[in-house]
Amino acid sequence: MQTFEFPTKIVHGPGTLAGLVDELRGLGVRRPLLVTDKGLVTAGVVAEVTNQLRKYGLDYVLFDDVVPNPPIALVDQGTAVYREADCDGLIGLGGGSPMDATKAIGVTAVQGGSIRAYEWADPNPICKRIPPTIAVPTTAGTGSEVTLWSVITDHERKIKYNVGGTPLIGAHVALIDPQLTLALPPSITAGTGMDALAHAIECYTMAYAQPFTDAVALLAMEYVSRYLRIAYAQGHNQEARTKMSMAAALGGMAYGVASAGAAHAMSQTAGGVRDVPHGAITARLLGPVMEYNFIAEPHRFARVAQALGEDIRGLSIWDAAERAVTAVYRLTADVGIPTMQALGFSEDEIPLLAELAANDPQTIGNPRDIDYQGYVKVYQRAFDLGK
């Protein structure tokens, strides 16, 4: 038995940010906690939001302490602010980290305790809907605006863990304004865009694939293959940015309902070891993981190749499937994804990284059986590519 449940209203298009207050009012929110990071304050994006809130006389409380790969303490601190300030809703403004932090704050705001206690498990510790929440992405990649997950870093255990897996944690509204992504630097565009691609490919080829996620995942792949290079090379290209924003949300709809596979098992655990951008490390691992996986699901990988614009006519199923791998390697190179070494990892860490990945729950969804040895092999390949 499978289900596809989606609790989020998607409001999208260039200039959509102007509708934020209407959406807050629609949800009955009078005193939102605006969760974001200092970088967006400096860039003036937060002011765009707060000016609008002030203009319409809406009271708000600013929590701009979110850091990349938000840790447990940060979420707990945000929840304390939410409660002390007597807020009645949330706005998550930013990339994956602020949006994930927002959803996690929502969980503890209604259920109490520390976010440490809400790691996904069966039965799920989440049993109440988060307060009215609007997610406003400023990157195009994570898809957190529509996912049913929040990824939290546990420094003690040196891992990132997943909170969610239930519609109770989904944002009420995703306000997707591609104009907010126009000024993103090429490296962020590249990493986040490849993350969206990884969500789509991992979900499409995974053990729990289902028609509803397949459909959105395939279009996400198509958009990334057609528009990521353009968005990377020409940041202000509105069409490319809009399509990448859609790709991120589509990838998130696939990833958000199901889960991912080995690339995310590896990138999330590696992200717990070293504070690297999630998009860049996921992108760096996606090719090697696909190279390992494609023989398990050749027909699905052949379809991925097609979605990535490869001409597979006349090829054997094996050659067609392998084209998906080479297409991703080419894209990874074209958008300048850093090597494992440049990201600060060393080959000595392979045993640790492989062990952490093998223990990550996303390993189960991977299309090809993979264990510690398999992860060692994939990591070795990823490091070799950087030599």
Site residues, Fe ion (CB under 5 A): 195
Least distance to Fe ion, CB of residue 139, Å = 11
Phi and psi at residue 150, in whole multiples of 5°?
-135, 130
Nearer to Fe ion, 32 or 272 (CB): 272
Nearer to Fe ion, 110 or 219 (CB): 219
Least distance to Fe ion, CB of residue 276, Å = 13
Q: Is the dihedral of CA 52, 55, 56, 60 positive or negative?
A: positive
Give the residue at shortest CB distance from Fe ion. 195
Least distance to Fe ion, CB of residue 314, Å = 34
Least distance to Fe ion, CB of residue 361, Å = 15
Nearer to Fe ion, 23 or 195 (CB): 195
Q: How far apart are CA 288 and CA 201, in angstroms?
A: 13
Q: How far is CA 179 from CA 75, 175, 194, 304, in A?
A: 28, 12, 19, 29
Nearer to Fe ion, 131 or 191 (CB): 191
Least distance to Fe ion, CB of residue 262, Å = 13
Nearer to Fe ion, 283 or 350 (CB): 283
Side chain identity, residue 48: E
Pairing of strands 159-164, 149-154: antiparallel
Phi and psi at residue 143, in whole multiples of 5°?
75, 10
Least distance to Fe ion, CB of residue 348, Å = 26
Beta bridge partners of 320: none
Q: How far is CA 136 from CA 53, 99, 145, 173, in A?
A: 14, 8, 7, 9
Q: How far is CA 120 from CA 116, 147, 156, in A?
A: 10, 14, 18
Peptide bond into 178 cis (omega under 30): no
Least distance to Fe ion, CB of residue 134, Å = 21
**Half-sphere exposure for 281 (CA within 13 Å, toward CB):** 23
Nearer to Fe ion, 132 or 193 (CB): 193
Nearer to Fe ion, 20 or 357 (CB): 357
Q: How far is CA 154 from CA 3, 169, 266, 299, in A?
A: 30, 19, 15, 38
Nearer to Fe ion, 133 or 147 (CB): 147
Least distance to Fe ion, CB of residue 255, Å = 7
**Coil/strand/helix, residue 198:** helix
